[in-house]
Structure 1
Amino acid sequence: MMLKDPYLNEEFEPDLMWFIGVFDVYDREGTRGAELEVYNPNDSADGELLIRKYCLNLPYLSYRHKLVLVESLELLLLEQNYDFQELFEVDEYEAASWPRGEWYSLEDPRGFFQDIYKFAKEAWREDLAKAAGEDRSTW
């Protein structure tokens, strides 16, 4: 058995875009873009609000998905040379965009993901414990 992607009939990939993809405003500039442009991701108070309200509000992910995602993030945070800013780079041919210019070059992208990790461990504590207590071979 394997943990399936919530949308596709294939194995779940714990890509960090699950956390920050919610900030993609392409073709939603007037709605999601307008909602998000008032926040500065480099401001710690705004960053915490963005993470708690958007990054961790993922109702389509089960408690098992959340555990796999948090564990994946933890491993990447341990890699000293992992380039978190690369996740915010948008190819000019890609149908994606961020709400404000700051998103394209965060002052501390690693710190942003460290905060995601810290707040996820707190907000998802019960889900993470439930999933960690299960036999993964049954997923």
Structure 2
Amino acid sequence: MLIDPGSGQPYIPALSYFLGCFDIYDREETLGEELEEFDPNDPSDREELILKYCLPRKRSYRQRFLLYKCLEEALQDKNYDFQSLLKYDPEAYSSFPDGWDEMKNARAFFEDIFRLATVVWKDDLQKASFEDQSTWTTVG
């Protein structure tokens, strides 16, 4: 099991990790205004959002691999509720830009993340796939 050195806890990927870069809580006047320029329902805007904000986030190649596999598994489930990941929670200290909780096709957003990650993370995914994951005890 992969251990995150920052927390010392097991690294357990979640699809929400792809969305953290779009959290505008306490950044409405900076990141929020920046993201308002994009329409996540428009395929070209969606691609730019993913390439500019989502995929470049600092992660080890092993974290990328596990996160990618988590997304692959969710996409294989025809009933997975991707929209629930965007739902506004008034109790949480996080929020997305206006309208994101009403995205027309959240599955398409995550399909695009998967498609682009396959290309952008290709070397990292290949490197991790050649390793024996049972030996992963630290983030590498």
TM-score tier, shorter chain, comes to: over 0.9
| Relative contact order higher in (CA < 8 Å, ≥ 6 apart) | 2
Alignment TM-score, normalising by the size of structure 1: 0.94
**Structure 1 gap segments, 5+ residues each:** none
The one-letter amino acid paired with 1:88 is L
1:119 and 2:134 matched? no
Cα deviation code 1:69-118 (max 9, x no counterpart):
111100100111110000001211111111222x0111110011000000
Cα deviation code 1:42-79 (max 9, x no counterpart):
011100000111110111x1000101111110010011
Structure-2 residue corresponding to 1:41: 40
Aligned partner (choices 80, 83, 95) of residue 82 of structure 1: 80
The alpha carbon displacement at 1:6 in A equals 5.5
Q: Percent identity?
A: 47
Deviates more, 1:126-135 or 1:89-98: 89-98
Is the Cα contact below 8 Å between 1:26 and 1:96 reproduced in 2? yes
Distance 1:5 1:114 in 2: 26
| Structure-2 change in CA distance of 1:68 and 1:47 (3 Å) | same
Structure-2 residue corresponding to 1:128: 125
Aligned partner (choices 63, 66, 74) of residue 65 of structure 1: 63
| Structure-2 change in CA distance of 1:6 and 1:120 (3 Å) | farther
**Superposition CA RMSD, Å:** 1.0
Is the Cα contact below 8 Å between 1:5 and 1:13 reproduced in 2? no
| Structure-2 change in CA distance of 1:85 and 1:7 (3 Å) | farther
Structure-1 residue corresponding to 2:21: 22
| Structure-2 change in CA distance of 1:6 and 1:27 (3 Å) | farther
**Structure 2 gap segments, 5+ residues each:** none
